[in-house]
Amino acid sequence: MGFRLDMFLCLCAVSIVKTDAWKRKEAQSQPRTCVYAPIAGQDRSFHRTVFVFCCKTPDCYSRNDSRCLKVFRSQLPRRNNFYPFDPPSDEGPNEMGPDPCVLRSEVKLCKLCGCAGQKACSKCHSAFYCSKEHQTIDWKHSHKKECCKQVPSSPGPSTFLFRESELVTELEEQPKEESIETVEDERNDLDCADLADGLAETELEDMAMHETEDSKVFQKFKQRIASEPHQVLRYCRGGSPLWVSSEHVPVEKDISNCSCGSRRIYEFQVMPQLLNDLKVDSPDASIDWGTLAVYTCADSCDQGNKYLAELIWKQDFTGEQI
């Protein structure tokens, strides 16, 4: 997928990565973002994906509160029961390929979320679900109109979930730290020169004091993403997030260890621009965040064929930045 662990990546103009159904979270389905991020030289992480789940209800979101968000990591070695050992052909699948709702093992998949689902619709017996809850949701959204029709429904995207798109990876050039400060100083000098003639010395001092640490952090954020303002995700495993504010920045004790005992390290962050691509950004109540920083196990531990919970840190914009 183009991920390099020793480089900082800028991912732009996208929302959600398409993945195989076996990697879907085996729980009540939530809208999600996921990143395919294998670790070079580590066989147990040859196929490795990190999933971010969120609630679609705006009322669930509180300022600087991550409880409405969940992160899970899934990984497999190169030789496994789900993926072929060799990569797929660059030519892509045939137009008349296998049923996307059935795995090679012939395990049926939930029509709503893609998890293993053996519960068939009692009327048409052609739609399968992982739970009664998902069957109820799909019945209300689409299956009520499709059930028992002669022509089977197309396996299109569920309206219950966010639309799927592909992450486009671009390498970001590392800016020099002094260049950021120089640009900021020059801008301040120009502003002061324009206003100096009309302001008293005390007023200039008040303006200088207003340049808080929070505004400096936000200026750095804006300058860093200026070359790709539509980026939705930044990846740098072992690096540092690009914060939008000096408030609610985690310290070491805030980042809990993995269940295996290893420490967690920063891996990637979800940017606020994703809200526009998901069509949830509105002047009324809506899903919102400044940035979402994801921390994962430094050892990328293997605890069997299951999804492992990781840590996500939600930071919101301050009142002055909105």
In this prediction, residues 33-51 reach a mean pLDDT of 90
Does 168 lie in the same domain as 106?
no
Residue 94 counted as domain residue: no
Q: Domain check: are 114 and 255 in the same one?
A: no
Residue type, 160: F
Same domain, yes or no: 188 and 321? no
Least confident of 34-43, 66-75, 109-118, 143-152: 143-152
pTM across the whole model:
0.72
In this structure, the answer to whether residues 35 and 142 fall within a common structural domain is no
Domain total of the chain: 3
Task: Read off the pLDDT of each residue in 240-251 and give the average, rounded to a whole number.
Answer: 94
Tell me, yes or no, whether 136 and 189 share the same domain: no
> Is a pLDDT exceeding 60 seen at residue 253?
yes
Angstrom distance (rounded) from CA 257 to CA 102:
37
Identify which has the larger pLDDT, 140 or 202: 140
Q: Of 203, 221, 239, which closes a domain?
A: 221
Interacting residues of 149 by C-beta distance below 8 A, sequence separation 6+: 124
What SS3 string covers the chain?
CCCCCCCCEEEECCCCCCCCHHHCCCCCCCCEEEEECCCCCCHHHCEEEEEEEECCCHHHCCCCCCCCEEEEEEEECCCCCCCCCCCCCCCCCCCCCCCCCECCCCCEECCCCCCECCEECCCCCCCEECCHHHHHHHHHHHHHHHCCCCCCCCCCCCCCCCCCCCCEEEECCCCCHHHHHHHHHHHHHHHHHHHHHHCCHHHHHHHHHCCCHHHHHHHHHHHHHCCCCCEEEEECCCCCCCCCCCCCCCCHHHCCCCCCCCCEEEEEEECCCHHHHCCCCCCCCCCCCCEEEEEEECCCCCCCCCCEEEEEEEECCCCCCC
In a domain, 242, yes or no: yes
CA 153 to chain centre: 30
Same domain, 264 and 313: yes
Residues 167 and 303 in one domain: yes
Domain encompassing residue 198 = 177-221
Tens-digit pLDDT profile for residues 268-283 = 999 999 888 877 766 6
Do 201 and 238 reside in the same domain of the chain? no
Angle, helices 201-209/177-195, rounded to nearest 10 degrees: 150
Q: Which residue has the higher pLDDT, 80 or 3?
A: 80
Determine the Cα angle at 242 with ends 238 and 248, to 5°: 100
User: What are the tens digits of pLDDT across the range 184-237?
Assistant: 454 444 444 454 455 566 665 555 554 577 788 999 999 999 888 889 999 999
Instruction: Confirm whether 37 is domain-assigned.
Output: yes
CB 64 within 8 A of CB 316: yes
Strand partners, 69: 54
CA dist 231 and 271 (Å) reads 7
Same-domain pairing of 202 and 247:
no
In a domain, 95, yes or no: no
96, part of any domain = no
Is 7 among the domain residues? yes
Does residue 258 share a domain with residue 166?
yes
Percentage of the chain modeled with pLDDT above 70: 67
**Edge-to-edge strand ranges of the sheet holding 308-315:** 32-36, 47-54, 69-76, 308-315, 291-297, 264-270, 231-235, 9-12, 168-171
Same domain, 122 and 237: no
Site of tokens 């069509």: 279
Q: Are residues 212 and 236 in the same domain?
A: no
CA atoms within 13 A on the CB side of 154: 2
In a domain, 78, yes or no: yes
CB 256 within 8 A of CB 311: yes
Whether 4 shows a pLDDT value over 50: the answer reads no
Q: Strands 47-54 and 69-76: what pairing?
A: antiparallel
